[in-house]
Amino acid sequence: MTQFNFLSFFVAVLLAGQVANTLPTTGEHPTQTLPAGTPQVFGLATNWTTPVNSSLGVNRVARPNDGLAVSAVDVETLKYYGRLASVSRCSFSTGKFECSTFCSKYPGTTLIKFFNTPNTNTTGYIARNDANKAVYVAFRGSTNINNWVHDAEFLFTKYSPARGAKVHSGFYKTWQDARNIVYPIVVKEMGRNPDYKLYMLGHSLGGALTVLQALDFYQNAGYDSSKMAVYTFGQPRIGNPAFSDYVDSLDLPIYRTINQNDVVPHMGPEAIGYKHHGTEYWIENSQGDVGECWWQCVFVS
What kind of fold does domain 3-299 have according to CATH? Rossmann fold (3.40.50)
Domain ranges of the chain: 3-299
Query: Would you call 22 helix, strand, or coil by DSSP?
Result: coil
Most confident stretch, 57-61, 142-146, 203-207:
203-207
Distance of CA 189 to the CA centre of its chain: 23
* Confidence at residue 14, expressed as pLDDT on a 0 to 100 scale: 37
- Predicted confidence (pLDDT) at residue 272 exceeds the cutoff of 60: yes
State the distance between the two ends of the chain, measured CA to CA, in whole angstroms. 42
Rg (alpha carbons) of the chain, rounded to whole number: 18
- Predicted confidence (pLDDT) at residue 221 exceeds the cutoff of 90: yes
Encode pLDDT of 62-81 as tens digits.
333 333 444 554 777 888 89
CB atoms < 10 A from the CB of 65, how many?
14
The whole-angstrom separation of Cα 226 and Cα 158 is: 29
- Predicted confidence (pLDDT) at residue 240 exceeds the cutoff of 80: yes
Query: Would you call 257 helix, strand, or coil by DSSP?
Result: strand
Whose CA is closest to 50, among 266, 301, 286, 291? 266
The whole-angstrom separation of Cα 30 and Cα 35 is: 15
- Predicted confidence (pLDDT) at residue 166 exceeds the cutoff of 80: yes
Q: Please say whether the beta carbons of 254 and 230 come within 8 A.
A: yes
